[in-house]
Amino acid sequence: MIPVSNESEQRAIQRQALTATTFVEIVDTLVDDFDVIDVLTQLALRSVELLEAAAAGILLADPDGNLRVIGASTEKVGLLELFQIQNDEGPCLDCYNSGAVVSNAGLDDTPSPWPRFAEESVRAGFPSVCAVPLRLKDLVLGCLNLFMSEPVSLSTAEVALAQALADVASIAIVQDQATREAAVREGHLQHALTSRISIEQAKGMISERSHVEMDEAFDRLRSYARNNNRGLTEVAESLVAGTINIDAVWDRRRVPPPPATTPERRAQS
């Protein structure tokens, strides 16, 4: 008895150390720029090791509510099909809809709520499954799906560990989305800023070429853009880049200025 106890104690200690290492490792990658697929695949691999599962995958709901695999411990064809089926039925779909942990340890001997999934899972060598939600407050983003090769349930402690891993996955996903969104917003701001700068530069070019004031130069830039059915910014940028000839914009014969309406001009004519 004693050697056995030592061995299981040994394993518990090893697992504890691995758990700590895993969290340190993942948190470390989240500090700097990270690739979210890479982090989620790493999490799937670590969940397999830590929970003694045969396979694991992280599924995310797309904007239409379809569950898609983002990271898996293995790319085996049978496993990918098991993920695919779950858009119709399976523990992940139930977990995603309810936001609660779903586990089933006897896919092969009890009537399953997901007959097609159960049959495929058992055939692939996974008589036991578990799905843990990826949550952000009240929102469910997807789930961590674990497959076991023995018909055994995860212990309460193991489910808690799986949930902790799923929470880290949620943080990685949310952080990645925030970074992407911010990059898009920054792009909009930068574009607006540079387009305004191009317009000022183009005004200066036209003003110098045709000896007119800045507001007149702006009018000419605008009428050229309108007459040629092009955007103001695009025309300004092309002028600055030299892809539109400056003479095309200032040439009065080709682009007539707005009709003169000032009293002096009328008096002259």
For other proteins, the binding residue among 5, 77, 111, 188 (CB under 8 A) is 188
CB of 264 to other proteins, least distance (A): 22
How far apart, in whole angstroms, are the C-alpha atoms of residue 185 and residue 172?
20
Three-class SS of residue 251?
coil
Q: To 5 degrees, how large is the angle CA 259–CA 218–CA 245?
A: 95
How far apart, in whole angstroms, are the C-alpha atoms of residue 180 and residue 163?
26
Q: Is 29 in the site for other proteins (CB under 8 A)?
A: no
How far apart, in whole angstroms, are the C-alpha atoms of residue 118 and residue 106?
9
CB of 48 to other proteins, least distance (A): 31
Pick the closer one to other proteins by CB: 13 or 197.
Answer: 197
For other proteins, the binding residue among 19, 153, 201, 228 (CB under 8 A) is 201
Contact 84, 77 (CB under 8 A): no
Closest-CA residue to 100 (of 41, 42, 159): 159
Strands 128-136 and 102-104: antiparallel
Pick the closer one to other proteins by CB: 11 or 191.
Answer: 191
CB of 268 to other proteins, least distance (A): 25
For other proteins, the binding residue among 3, 63, 111, 242 (CB under 8 A) is 242
Q: Is 197 in the site for other proteins (CB under 8 A)?
A: yes
Pick the closer one to other proteins by CB: 26 or 206.
Answer: 206
Q: Measured between alpha carbons, how far is residue 151 from residues 2, 47, 64, 106, 128 in Å?
A: 27, 18, 34, 6, 5
Q: Is 202 in the site for other proteins (CB under 8 A)?
A: yes
For other proteins, the binding residue among 99, 115, 125, 204 (CB under 8 A) is 204
For other proteins, the binding residue among 182, 254, 260, 265 (CB under 8 A) is 182
Contacts to other proteins by CB under 8 A: 33, 178-179, 181-183, 185-186, 188-197, 200-209, 214, 231, 233, 240, 242, 246
